[in-house]
Chains A and B, each alone.
Chain A
């Protein structure tokens, strides 16, 4: 497959480095942790994978950590106490359910497809909530609001991820040869958009801080 499909890793690293310069903002700190954990996960998977060991176990833990951090980031932009409580509780419940499914029902040697699908569904719900919770505090348009870009980034990524995961088997039945390529293309595209928008969100935090 073409190298450009995996070049989004460069954007991931760039996004992580940019976030390190703005750690005074709580949301960017959490984002930096998430990006750092993503990088570490991918490195571990590469190392374990090349040595022939089952590396999917890393993703079973990564899913829980990813969901927790994304939910905490989105939660900080929501003011309604009931929704914040619900989001907080969902982190614990998802963690328990995901790990239970991984290690009791599904098996840790397989790819955590169900876990990721549930995670995607929940994140999409929180993103929809976050979109409509963005509150104006000046004349600036929504496109200068950092939470808009963070929410859009996660929304696009998880929507694409969930759609492709949902349709993957259908694609595999229709064309087993092309399905992985189609999956890889969509996955790359959503990753590119994810990191570009995350960088935009970080820059919005910075420009809002300067204008204050």
Chain B
């Protein structure tokens, strides 16, 4: 240790700036030497002080505006934004559908292909890839819990979900066209052969 300390002393003695000054840059604190470590008493940089005062001023101003002067709360800001989003949703995706539109979907192979693709991506996890039912009910038999086997009611279930039973609402996830297409595709599944059919749930619907 002692050799390091003497090194230190030699270094500082050789530094002409340190001798005899009482102000300005690189003035050593008298008597401050700890295990050979000395301390200058340089002022804090101007920009450092400036930004410190600015950050305090910002803090005081921000707190005052939001907590004392009636600035909007997080909840108020959220409410405004949600209203805008809801307006967009209603405008772009009006409630309800026309049965004839759904009939047209079923007659259009291109749209049915889209429906099949959407079904594979979103529905198959619960209803099985062939619609035979898994977590959710079998969509190929004649028994219906909510959809009653009709295009418009199936459409409502897909749009709004059956939240208590774990069927999600898809209207804010899928586009309007995608919902129409997948509803058409679901309707077309009736009577198709399946690998494993989930036992019937709901009421027998005969058309």
Verify that A and B bind, or say they do not: no
Interface on A for B, CB 8 Å cutoff? none
